[in-house]
């Protein structure tokens, strides 16, 4: 049994849901839609496209994806891929390593330059062991000596004393230092009495059982200090005399 199309009047066979001429839904299609059944498309007859499914409200996005904005009706929300943090971390580590290595190279260069400057500021004379060092204020010279004069030491050498190694002459930009070392068989008290008479009553004296020291200041630029040491276990039991004479050339 056929029915007439409500729009164009063409005959539509029973059970067919759309008119084959104009595509209008028949009463059977409307009844199927209202009853919950999905209409069946007839070949050659256009049908309405199904609306894209929308995600349920409150449903979280898939792991690794982030919606950036609400999409128009019928379209899925746009997503962006997460940034790969591994490559950025490696770049930062490489930059830090480059900085540390650069600072290490600069530090090693500075130390090397300082060592070079110090090494080239010294000059050693192999003949008498004299050492010369150049400084911004002038040159410093020092040498180990065993022969001194009373004028260099600022006072007389103890009679009969033997000069030994340990003395030094040093010329400084601000003055000079001369020191001599001697040994004698006389006692500490005999040596102290000798230098008390030589340096005068203005000299300062410190005396103990095994050692003594006497010093005097001459003016504002000269100082003489004599140290006397007598210990049976040292210097084969002899008395050691050390004399230090300093001069300050910049004193007023």
Q: Residue 68 in contact with residue 78, Cβ under 8 Å?
A: yes
User: If pLDDT is split at 50, 70 and 90, which confidence band does 189 have?
Assistant: very high
66 located within any domain = no
Q: Residue 156 in contact with residue 208, Cβ under 8 Å?
A: no
242 located within any domain = yes
When the pLDDT of each residue in the chain is averaged and rounded to a whole number, the result is 74
∠ CA 146-152-157, rounded to 5°: 65
Q: Residue 239 in contact with residue 185, Cβ under 8 Å?
A: yes
Mapped onto helix, strand or coil, the DSSP state of residue 124 is: strand
8 vs 27, more confident? 8
Helix (H) or strand (E) holding 31: helix 27-35
22 vs 51, more confident? 22
User: If pLDDT is split at 50, 70 and 90, which confidence band does 22 have?
Assistant: confident
Which residue range(s) make up the domain with 36?
Answer: 1-45
Mapped onto helix, strand or coil, the DSSP state of residue 135 is: strand
188 located within any domain = yes
Q: Are residues 225 and 133 in the same domain?
A: yes
63 vs 247, more confident? 247
For residue 215, what are the β-bridge partners? 204, 225
63 located within any domain = no
80 located within any domain = no
User: If pLDDT is split at 50, 70 and 90, which confidence band does 49 have?
Assistant: very low
CA–CA distance, 199 with 192 (Å, rounded to integer) = 10
Q: What percent of the chain has pLDDT over 70?
A: 58
Beta strand 239-248 pairing with 222-230 = antiparallel
DSSP 160-182: TPEEEEEEEEEEETTEEEEEEEE
pLDDT at res. 101: 74
100 located within any domain = no
57 located within any domain = no
104 located within any domain = no
| Domain total of the chain | 2
pLDDT digits (tens, 9 = 90+) for 122-179: 555 545 556 776 666 556 666 666 688 899 899 999 999 998 887 788 877 788 888 8
């Amino acid at each position: 049994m056929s029915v007439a199309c409500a729009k164009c009047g063409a005959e539509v066979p029973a059970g067919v849901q759309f008119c084959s001429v104009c595509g209008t839904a028949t009463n059977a299609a409307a009844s199927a839609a209202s009853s919950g059944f999905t209409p069946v498309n007839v070949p050659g007859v256009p049908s309405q496209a199904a609306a894209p499914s929308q995600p349920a409200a409150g449903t979280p996005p898939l792991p690794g994806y982030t919606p950036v904005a609400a999409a128009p009706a019928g379209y899925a929300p746009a997503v962006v891929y997460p940034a790969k943090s591994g490559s950025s971390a490696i770049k930062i580590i490489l930059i830090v390593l480059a900085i540390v290595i650069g600072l290490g190279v600069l530090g090693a260069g500075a130390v090397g330059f300082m060592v070079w400057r110090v090494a080239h500021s010294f000059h050693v004379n192999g003949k008498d062991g004299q050492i010369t060092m150049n400084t911004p204020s002038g040159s410093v010279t020092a040498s180990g000596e065993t022969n001194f004069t009373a004028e260099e030491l600022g006072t007389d050498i103890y009679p009969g004393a033997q000069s030994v190694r340990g003395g030094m002459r040093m010329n400084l930009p601000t003055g000079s230092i001369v020191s001599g070392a001697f040994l004698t068989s006389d006692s500490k008290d005999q040596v102290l009495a000798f230098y008390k008479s030589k340096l005068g009553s203005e000299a300062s004296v410190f005396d103990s059982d095994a050692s003594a020291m006497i010093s005097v200041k001459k003016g504002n630029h000269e100082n003489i200090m004599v140290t006397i040491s007598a210990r049976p276990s040292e210097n084969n039991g002899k008395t050691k005399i050390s004399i230090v004479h300093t001069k300050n050339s910049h004193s007023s």
